[in-house]
Amino acid sequence: MRPRIPDNPLAIVRNLGILAHVDAGKTTVTERMLYLAGATYKRGEVHDGTTVTDFDPMERDRGITIFAAAVSCAWDGHRVNLIDTPGHVDFSDEVERSLRVLDGAIAVFDAVAGVEPQSESVWRLADRYGVPRIAFVNKLDRAGADLDTAVESIRRRLHKAPLVVQLPIGQEDRFTGVVDLVRMRALVWADGVCSAGPVPEDLLAQARRRRRLLEESVAELHAGALEEFCARPSMSDETLAGALRDLTLSGAGLVVLCGSAYRDRGIEPLLDAVVAYLPSPLDVPPVRGEDGAERAADPRAPLAALAFKVNATATGRLTFVRVYSGTMRKGDTVLVTGLVTGLDTGAGRTERVSRILRVQADRHTEVDLAVAGDIVAVVGLKSARLGTTLCAPGAPLVLEPPSTAEPVVSVAVEARRSTDADRLASGLARLAEEDPSLAVRTDAETGQTLLSGMGELHLEVAVDKLRREHVMDVSVGRPQVAHRETVVRGVSGLLYRHVKQDGGAGQFAHVVLDVEPLDGGDFEFASTVVGGRVPREYVRAVEAGCRDALADGPLGGHPVTGLRVTLTDGATHPKDSSDLAFRTAGRLGLREALRASAMQLLEPVVEVTVTVPGDAAGGVLGDLAARRGRISGSSARGGTVVITAVVPLAEVFGYATRLRSRTQGRGTFTTRPAGYAPAR
């Protein structure tokens, strides 16, 4: 007898992520939320290596989040599923995979630094997936912390309508609590205990003024609130809270809270805001398949779930899935569609769900079923990969998988002992299976095995994981960047004839190509052939051949980008023309056209933000210039200088050590990808 579906309305479920720049305090925020919700019995600390979500030894050694970790807790009668995401730019793909399956997010900002480079990057990712957010300005206890300055940086760089719903009580080391502007009460923390009371007399006038400004801002954005704002002297608390929720769900407004997670101040109202403002699975649009079919968040609907994370261990595979609709039970047979190994996108394989696990970071609790809105791990799926869809066999569906960025840095990896060569290959394959932003290939010229990723730290972590989990001694070469080639000046009317006759059916294809630079894109193909001289199916084959030719350019065998190819003419043979012949003509014809064009080598560049003491700024500027950096901005902040520059990625390798030596260990820097630029 199958277990009965529990009476658990989706309205009380919140699936959210914690997003931030590295060191903004999001892991500490997560730990305090778990502790206050009763999910843990003691406060975890990043510096002590005792956090729940940063459980991997590599994360505890480095003091940063590397892998997205899922945890759950209960607050005010609601079930909150949390994913703590990485903040370092090298792991932005891990953030994107998490955002793909989340309904809402908390964006954490440093009260001193405000919006930082990776804050902006993860914000744009959330914009791409339409994830509603609230903001939490953390570290108000730090010297130089200023809520208004941080909010202004949010307004200037991220969102035009931040709605501040709290007023700090005290500044820096005297920060003790907040005034709740929605309910007009003071929340004060002492020894980790929150107590509510009336607004202090010395803050009452300021609190009333800020409450009025909040009402005005909400009325400008919300029609229902505007009606009450015009009709009454003051907006009711219920109307204001309801309008804030509506504006959060639509993205028209951004609720901003503040506090200090490390000092246990401001977390309870943050949890209240999660429940009050962020969406449940019922509040988000139905999930849509690639064929346009929709599935609503209903446990009685056909199953639809997306695999967003895979842990391939020696003892088995854990597939983390978000269930969008339907119910998945232990022992059920599901259809795995999408990016299944060896199958087309629309094809699939049936698999049996042997176990379903409720995940609490590195601890798992077995459950009998998972319903719409759940985030769980499934054991027993052999063909499922990151981005595949799990659906009911009688109602197939393919959900859009998370996108994967192109790797930009490569290192050569080899086993020190020849007997470990096979183990190295299987270990690298497992790494790439867990993290699609890692790529493994063999260099055709040198025979070396190359591991490619998003940055130095990304590759360092991957190799460290290889050594720890596979107990393997490997040697690693110097990092190499992934260059590209582009067209500076193209050619017109290049004629290529592909004729092959070696017995039996021959091959004949005649194409005329124009090649020109393309601004703001990777590749475009067009056809201006008239009169049916090249049939439509052969035009598609020519395009496929041209895309094949982009894999290696004439300058150094690097991928080619930034060009437009136009098929202007061609000819066919009644018997010998075929898709294969025209695809070959497209590939070889474009290669010949590229050799005749003026080409340019491109190298990846990054935007570097360096924060240094004022007396060291001159030396740092000179060093960036020596690294072929282009300075794009410089501003003073207290006793420090913040320098922004665009620098070739190859010149950033080893920069941390150089910066520390120039600033006596007082300088810090962050990077984020800035595309490609001509190599100099």
**For residue 446, what is the domain's CATH number?**
3.30.70.870
Instruction: Check the annotation: does 309 bind a ligand.
Output: no
Q: Is 84 annotated as a binding residue?
A: yes
Are 357 and 470 in a shared domain?
Answer: no
Alpha helices in 557-678 (DSSP H): 579-596, 617-626, 655-662
Q: Are residues 333 and 295 in the same domain?
A: yes
Rounded to two decimals, what is the model's pTM?
0.75
Which among 559, 581, 596 is the end of a domain?
596
Residue 350 labelled as part of a binding site: no
The answer to the question of residue 4 being in a domain is no
Which stretches does DSSP call E strand in 330-393? 333-337, 348-352, 355-360, 363-367, 369-371, 375-379, 389-391
Q: Do 462 and 591 sit in the same domain of this protein?
A: no
Task: Please report which confidence band the pLDDT of residue 3 belongs to, taking 50, 70 and 90 as the band edges.
Answer: very low
Confidence band for 525, pLDDT divided at 50, 70 and 90 = very high
CATH number of the domain enclosing 580: 3.30.230.10
CATH number of the domain bearing residue 39 = 3.40.50.300
150 is in an annotated binding site: no
365 and 234 in a single domain? The answer is no
> Which of 429, 445, 477 is a domain's end point?
477
87 known member of a binding site: yes
Q: Which CATH number does the domain housing residue 331 bear?
A: 2.40.30.10
Q: C-alpha dihedral over 442, 446, 449, 455, to 10 degrees?
A: -100
- Looking at the structure, tell me whether residues 26 and 150 fall in a common domain: yes
191-194: Cβ within 8 A, 24+ apart: 192/264, 194/268
Residue 348 within any structural domain of the chain: yes
Token pair 């020519």: residue: 542
Average pLDDT over all residues of the chain: 85
Whether residue 27 is annotated as binding a ligand: the answer is yes
Q: Does residue 663 sit in the same domain as residue 589?
A: no
Domain count, the chain: 5
pLDDT at 445: 58
667 is in an annotated binding site: no
DSSP β-ladder status, 333-337 and 369-371: unpaired
pLDDT tens sequence across 630-657: 998 888 876 788 899 999 988 888 787 7
Is 6 part of any domain? no
Same domain, 245 and 340: no
pLDDT band (50, 70, 90) for residue 252:
very high
Q: Please indicate if the annotation marks 557 as binding a ligand.
A: no
Q: Is the pLDDT of residue 219 over 90?
A: yes
Residue 309 domain-assigned?
yes
pLDDT of residue 567: 96
Task: Give the pLDDT confidence of 430-473 residue by residue, as tens digits.
Answer: 888 888 888 888 876 567 788 888 777 888 888 888 888 777 78
Query: The domain containing residue 648 runs over which residues?
Result: 603-678
248 is in an annotated binding site: no
In angstroms, how far is CA 678 from the centroid of its own chain?
Answer: 27
pLDDT of residue 168: 95
Same domain, 431 and 494: no
**Residue 399 belongs to some domain of the structure:** no
Let me know if residue 69 belongs to a domain: yes
Mean pLDDT (whole number) for 416-425: 81
86 is in an annotated binding site: yes
Residue 251 carries which side chain, given as an amino acid letter?
G
Q: Taking a C-beta distance cutoff of 8 angstroms, is the pair 383, 89 a contact?
A: no
Summarize the confidence of residues 508-520 as an average pLDDT.
92
Last residue of a domain, one of 364, 391, 418: 391
∠13-14-19 over CA atoms, to 5°?
Answer: 165
The SS3 call for residue 164 is: strand
For position 346, what pLDDT does the model report? 42
The fraction of the chain above a pLDDT of 70, given in percent, is: 91
376 closest CA partner among 132, 133, 106, 101: 101
Residues 90, 148: one domain? Answer: yes
Q: Report in angstroms the alpha-carbon separations of 554 from 31, 447, 486, 494.
A: 53, 21, 10, 16
Is 25 assigned to a binding site? yes
Residue 558 within a domain: yes
85 is in an annotated binding site: yes
Q: Does 298 carry a binding-site annotation?
A: no
CB of 104 within 8 A of CB of 278? yes
User: Which of the given ranges, 308-312, 341-345, 416-420, 591-595, has the highest pLDDT on average?
Assistant: 591-595
Say what the pLDDT of residue 345 is: 41
26 marked among binding-site residues: yes
On whether both 463 and 445 belong to a single domain, the answer is yes
Number of H helices, E strands in the chain: 15, 38
| 38 annotated among ligand-binding-site residues | no
Same-domain status, 104 and 213: yes
Strand (E) or helix (H) holding 227: helix 223-231
Same domain, 256 and 344: no
Residue 396 lies in a domain: no
Q: Tell me the pLDDT tens digit for each residue of 124-163.
A: 888 888 999 999 999 999 988 999 999 999 999 899 999 9
